[in-house]
Amino acid sequence: MLNDTHHPGLRSWVASANAAGTDFPIQNLPFAVFRRQRSSEPWRGGVAIGDQIVDLAALAQSGVLQGQAAAAAQAGAQDKLNALMALGTAAWSALRLALSRALREGSPEQAALQACLVPQAEAEYAVPARIGDYTDFYTSVHHATNIGKQFRPDNPLLPNYKWVPIGYHGRASSIGVSGQQFRRPLGQTMPPGATVPSFGPCKRLDIELELGIFIGSGNALGDAVEITEAEDHVFGICLLNDWSARDIQGWEYQPLGPFLAKNFATTVSPWVVTLEALAPYRVPFTRAEGDPQPMAYLDSAANRSGGAFDIQLQVGLQTPQMREAGQLEASICRTNYRHAYWTVAQMVTHHTVNGCNLQPGDLLGSGTLSGPTLDQAGALIELTTGGKHPLTLPGGEQRTWLEDGDRVVLRGWCEKTGAARIGFGECVGTVLPARVPKG
Ligand code: MN
C-alpha cells in the first residue's frame, strides 16, 4: 500500500510544503474546487501543496503530464471533481505520483509547475463535487450510547446497533463549503411539559463532528460492492459538520427518523484527502470482547488488519465576544476516527448490499465521531449531557447550545513517528439569526 509518494523524507521545491506542522506537505496532495476570490474565473480542480494550489486546468493545458496522469488532470480541470472521481483508483494514483515527482526538490518540471500555482490566500472554494445523494451513518458506538442513555438509561444501545451500520438518507441541496453561514432554523418543537407544540426558532442548535466520504467510481443499480472492492469506490475523505436542531429533532423524528432538524445546512471542508494519502495511518479494525463479529459480507482480512484510520479531530468554538476580543476559537472536543464502530469499507458495502447504486460524487457522513470519554464527544448534546451542564469557555462565557454569531471550526490531521504529518485544513461555519417569520 505504501509507495514512494509517502516517504517522510520527501521535500518539495514549494518551501511552505516543508514547514513543520503544515497540513499540506508533498505526501498529502488533497483535492478541492477553487477559483481566485472576487473573480469570474471558472471553478476548477486544484491540489494543495504547502500554502499553494496546483491549478489542474492550467496543469492539463501545460502538457507536462503524460498518459493516465494527464487524463486525470484533464478530468479534474472541470468545475466539479465528479469526472475525476469516476475515473477510479489507477487514474487518481497516477496523478498523485506524477504530481509528487513534479513537486519534489530538483524536479525538471519545476518551472512548468510554478506557472500553475495559485496562492491559497487568494482562493475561494466550492463544494468539491456535484453531490447526487448524501447518506449519513451513525458509526460511533460512543455517540450512539451517549445519546441512547439520555432516553434509555438502562438500555442505551438499540439491539440492531452492533449488527447493522445504521444510516439515513440526508439532503444534498443544503451542503455548503467551509465558510458557510446559515440562518438558525425555524420549526415545530414540543417544549418540556407542554401538551401542544410551539413554532419558532430552534433553541437547541448543535454541531456534529463527522468525516465525509466522497464516492469515486459507482456501482450499477442491482449490483452490490463486495467489501474486498469497497475502498476502490472511495475517492477520499473530508471534514463534515452535520448541524442539528435537537429540539426540532426530538419532536419530529419518530417514526421515520431525522428530517428538518438536519437538512437546513451541512458544511464540508474544501479539501478531500485521498485514501492513498491516508495509507500510513491505517489501523486495525477491532471489536471489543463479547461484541458480535461483523456478518460475513461486512468482514474481510484487509478490513480487519487496516480498515480503520487514525485521524485526529478537533472542534473549536468562537463566540462573537471572543471574535471582538481578537481571541481564536477555543477547543471543546478532541477525539480520533479510530474509535468508530464501522469502517469506510463496511459503510460502502452495507449501502450497496441491497443493490442500491452509489454514484461518483455521492457523499457519506460517518455520523458524529465521539470517543470513549465525554471530553471526546463530537456534539454539544453529549458535551453538556443533554443541556444539563453548560460548557465554560476560556473567557468565562458559557454555552449549552449554539448562539447566533457562533463560529465552529473543525480540524483533522494525522501524525505519528515515521510518517509525514498530513492534515485536512478547516471546516468552518457560522450561525446567523433566524429568519423573522411573516406574521
Ligand atoms: Mn449526523
Q: What is the structure's pLDDT at 301?
A: 98
- Give catalytic residues, as residue numbers: 143
Q: Is the pTM of this model over 0.85?
A: yes
Instruction: Dig out the grid coordinates for 258 from the structure.
Output: 431525522
- Distant-in-sequence contacts of 146-154, Cβ < 8 A, 24+ apart: 146/370, 146/374, 146/377, 146/381, 146/382, 147/381, 147/382, 150/381, 150/385, 150/386
Question: How many Å lie between the centroid of ligand 1 and the Cα of residue 170?
Answer: 9
Question: How many Å lie between the centroid of ligand 1 and the Cα of residue 342?
Answer: 15
Q: What is the structure's pLDDT at 312?
A: 98
Query: pLDDT tens digits for 22-66?
Result: 999 999 999 999 999 999 999 999 999 999 999 999 999 999 999
Question: How many Å lie between the centroid of ligand 1 and the Cα of residue 210?
Answer: 7
Question: How many Å lie between the centroid of ligand 1 and the Cα of residue 208?
Answer: 6
Identify whether the C-beta of residue 11 lies closer than 8 Å to the C-beta of residue 403: no
E-only strand ranges, 306-421 = 308-309, 312-318, 330-336, 363-365, 391-392, 398-399, 407-414
> How confident is the model over 412-423, as a mean pLDDT?
98
pLDDT above 90 as % of the chain: 97
Question: How many Å lie between the centroid of ligand 1 and the Cα of residue 365?
Answer: 7
- Is residue 250 over pLDDT 80? yes
Q: What is the C-alpha to C-alpha distance for residues 180 and 303, in angstroms, rounded to an integer? A: 35
Question: How many Å lie between the centroid of ligand 1 and the Cα of residue 367?
Answer: 4
Q: What is the C-alpha to C-alpha distance for residues 175 and 136, in angstroms, rounded to an integer? A: 12
Indicate the DSSP class of residue 32: E
> How confident is the model over 373-399, as a mean pLDDT?
96
Q: What is the C-alpha to C-alpha distance for residues 383 and 208, in angstroms, rounded to an integer? A: 11
Listed residue (143, 138, 157, 139) closest to 378, CA to CA:
143
Q: What is the C-alpha to C-alpha distance for residues 199 and 114, in angstroms, rounded to an integer? A: 56
Q: Mean pLDDT for the chain?
A: 97
Please return the burial class of 436, using the count of CB atoms within 10 Å of its CB with bins 0-12, 13-18 and 19+: exposed
Q: What is the C-alpha to C-alpha distance for residues 393 and 407, in angstroms, rounded to an integer? A: 13
CA angle 330, 336, 337 (to 5 degrees): 130
Q: What is the structure's pLDDT at 151?
A: 82
> How confident is the model over 238-256, as a mean pLDDT?
96
Sequence length of the chain is 439
Q: What is the C-alpha to C-alpha distance for residues 425 and 428, in angstroms, rounded to an integer? A: 10
Domains, the chain: 4-126 (2.30.30.230), 134-432 (3.90.850.10)
Q: What is the structure's pLDDT at 1?
A: 83
Q: What is the C-alpha to C-alpha distance for residues 326 and 248, in angstroms, rounded to an integer? A: 34
Q: What is the structure's pLDDT at 437?
A: 76
Is 145 strand, coil or helix? helix
Instruction: Dig out the grid coordinates for 44 from the structure.
Output: 476548477
Indicate the DSSP class of residue 81: S
Identify whether the C-beta of residue 213 lies closer than 8 Å to the C-beta of residue 237: yes
Question: How many Å lie between the centroid of ligand 1 and the Cα of residue 383?
Answer: 16
Q: What is the structure's pLDDT at 429?
A: 98
Query: pLDDT tens digits for 174-198?
Result: 999 999 999 999 999 999 899 999 9
Query: pLDDT tens digits for 96-127?
Result: 999 999 999 999 999 999 999 999 999 999 99
Instruction: Dig out the grid coordinates for 384 from the structure.
Output: 453538556
Unique residue bearing C-alpha cell 441541496: 173
pLDDT above 70 as % of the chain: 100
Q: What is the structure's pLDDT at 260?
A: 98
Kindly indicate the confidence band of residue 236, based on its pLDDT and cuts at 50, 70 and 90: very high
Question: How many Å lie between the centroid of ligand 1 and the Cα of residue 333?
Answer: 16
Q: What is the structure's pLDDT at 152?
A: 87
Q: What is the C-alpha to C-alpha distance for residues 6 and 28, in angstroms, rounded to an integer? A: 8
Cα 195 to the center of its chain, rounded Å: 39
- Is residue 438 over pLDDT 80? no
Query: pLDDT tens digits for 12-25?
Result: 999 999 999 999 99
Kindly indicate the confidence band of residue 439, based on its pLDDT and cuts at 50, 70 and 90: low
Query: pLDDT tens digits for 259-289?
Result: 999 999 999 999 999 999 999 999 999 999 9
Q: What is the C-alpha to C-alpha distance for residues 329 and 208, in angstroms, rounded to an integer? A: 17
Question: How many Å lie between the centroid of ligand 1 and the Cα of residue 138?
Answer: 7
Distances (CA, A) of 264 to 172, 261, 343: 10, 7, 27
Helix (H), strand (E) counts: the chain: 11, 26
Q: What is the C-alpha to C-alpha distance for residues 245 and 171, in angstroms, rounded to an integer? A: 15
Kindly indicate the confidence band of residue 90, based on its pLDDT and cuts at 50, 70 and 90: very high
Q: What is the C-alpha to C-alpha distance for residues 286 and 306, in angstroms, rounded to an integer? A: 10
